[in-house]
Amino acid sequence: MNSTKTIRAFFRAVKVESAQPPYDTIQLKVIYPARMSGSELERDLGIVPADSEQAPFPVVIFFGGANCSAEMYQWLAVKLAERGLVVVTFNWVAEILPGFVGLTPGVDIAVWTPKTYGTGPTASALPAIFAELQHLQTEGILAGMLDLQRVVLGGHSAGGRVAIESADSRFYPQLAAAFGYGVHSLGAVKLGYEPGTILPLPSSLPMLLMGGTCDGVIANSSDRYGMTPGNATTAVIRTFREAIAGGGNYTYLVLLEGANHFSIADPFDPTTGRPFLDFPATQPEDKIRSLMAETIGLFIDAHVRHQPTALPALNQLLATANSLVQLFDCK
C-alpha cells in the first residue's frame, strides 16, 4: 500500500459499567485515514479531517495481549488504516485476574467456565467501545463516515482469544470477521475443563487464525491446559481443526515460520507480560510483520470489503512457495 498516505489518530476515554472504580475507564486511540486541509484548527490543535473520499470506513477493534500496551500494535493499525480502515486500539488498567492488576484486553471470566462458555461474548470491553463508536458516528472527525455494519475484531494472545470467541453475530449483528495471532481456544484446567479440551468457536463469520512456529509463550503455557509443554503450534492447529465448523472457505490457518509470540509487537516491551517464556525468532521480524499485515489486510479486503481482487491475492500470497509460511489451510 502507499506509505505516503496521511494517517492520524485521536483519543477518547470510556467507562465500563460492569467494572469498579478506579478500574472502570478505557483509554481509546482511534486511528484513521486523513487528508491535510491547511485549516487554522489543524495548525493550532492538530485536528486533521478524515479522508472522506475513502469513507465509509469499516472498523477494526484490536485487543492487545495481557500487559501489552496498545503502542506495541500501532504499526499494524497504521498499515490497516492505509488500506482505508479505522482502527481502535486501547489501554485498560484493571484486574486481569482477581487480585492481579495490569493492562487487560478485558476478559469476562464468568463466561469462561464450562457451564457458561458460549452464552455470551468474553470481550468485556466491547459494549463500551461499541457505544463510543456510535457516538463518533454522530459528531466529530469521523461523523457519518463509519461503516458500523462492518466491524472486525482482532487481537494478540489473550486479546486475540476474546476477539475470536466474541465474533458471533448472535451477540453483535454488526460484526463481519475476526482475526487473532498467537491464539488458541484450549480450556484451562483450573476453570474445570478436562485436560486438552478445545472449546468451540463461532463459525458464522470469516476468521483468520495465525501463529508462529517459535511461540515459546504458547509452548511453555501448555500445562495450564493439561498438555505437555514444549510445542508451539499444536494448540493453534487443533483450534483450527476442532473448534471451528468450517465449510464456507472463509476460515484460515496461517503458521509463520520462525515467528515467536511477540513477533506481532513493535516496539517490543520486555518489561511486562511474559516475554521470558518466548523462544527467539529465527526469521527477520520486519519481514514477518510485513507478511502478517498483508495477510490480515487482504483477509479483510476479501471477506469484509468484498474487493474482487483480494481473495485471489490472499490465496496467492499464502499458497505459493514462501519461506515464511510454514502451514496454510482454509476450510
Digit-coded pLDDT (tens) for 108-134: 989 999 999 999 999 999 999 999 999
What domain count does the chain have? 1
pLDDT per residue over 40-66, tens digit each?
Answer: 888 888 889 999 999 999 999 999 999
pLDDT of res. 91: 98
Indicate the pairing of strand 7-15 with strand 57-63: unpaired
At residue 2, does pLDDT exceed 80?
no
Q: Identify the CATH number of the domain in which residue 237 sits.
A: 3.40.50.1820
pLDDT of res. 71: 97
190 within domain boundaries: yes
Helix (H, G, I), strand (E, B) or coil at 150: strand
pLDDT of res. 44: 86
Tell me the percentage of the chain whose pLDDT exceeds 90: 90
- 304 in Cβ contact with 61 (< 8 Å): no
> Nearest Cα to 232, choosing from 255, 252, 251, 248?
255
Cis upstream peptide for 127 (omega within 30°)? no
Give the single-character DSSP code of 233: S
pLDDT of res. 3: 44
62 within domain boundaries: yes
**How far from 127 is each of 130, 179, 228, CA to CA, in Å?**
5, 19, 37
Cis upstream peptide for 22 (omega within 30°)? yes
Q: How many CA atoms lie within 13 A of 299 on its CB side?
A: 30
pLDDT per residue over 182-232, tens digit each?
Answer: 999 999 999 999 999 999 999 999 999 999 999 999 999 999 999 988 899
pLDDT band (50, 70, 90) for residue 4? low
Please tell me the distance from the alpha carbon of residue 271 to that of residue 262, in angstroms, as a whole number: 13
166 within domain boundaries: yes
Burial 159-177, CB ≥16 within 10 A → b, else e? bbbbbbbbbbeeebeebbb
- 13 in Cβ contact with 37 (< 8 Å): no
Mean pLDDT over 134-160 rounds to 98
pLDDT per residue over 277-299, tens digit each?
Answer: 999 999 999 999 999 999 999 99
- 209 in Cβ contact with 254 (< 8 Å): yes
Q: Which domain holds residue 23?
A: 7-330
pLDDT per residue over 26-44, tens digit each?
Answer: 999 999 999 998 888 888 8
Within its chain, how far is the Cα of 94 from the centroid? 19
At residue 170, does pLDDT exceed 50?
yes
2 within domain boundaries: no
1 within domain boundaries: no
pLDDT of res. 39: 87
Please tell me the distance from the alpha carbon of residue 51 to that of residue 34, in angstroms, as a whole number: 5
- 325 in Cβ contact with 259 (< 8 Å): no
Who contacts 225 (Cβ-Cβ below 8 Å, separation ≥6)? Answer: 186, 187, 188, 189, 193, 195, 196, 197, 235
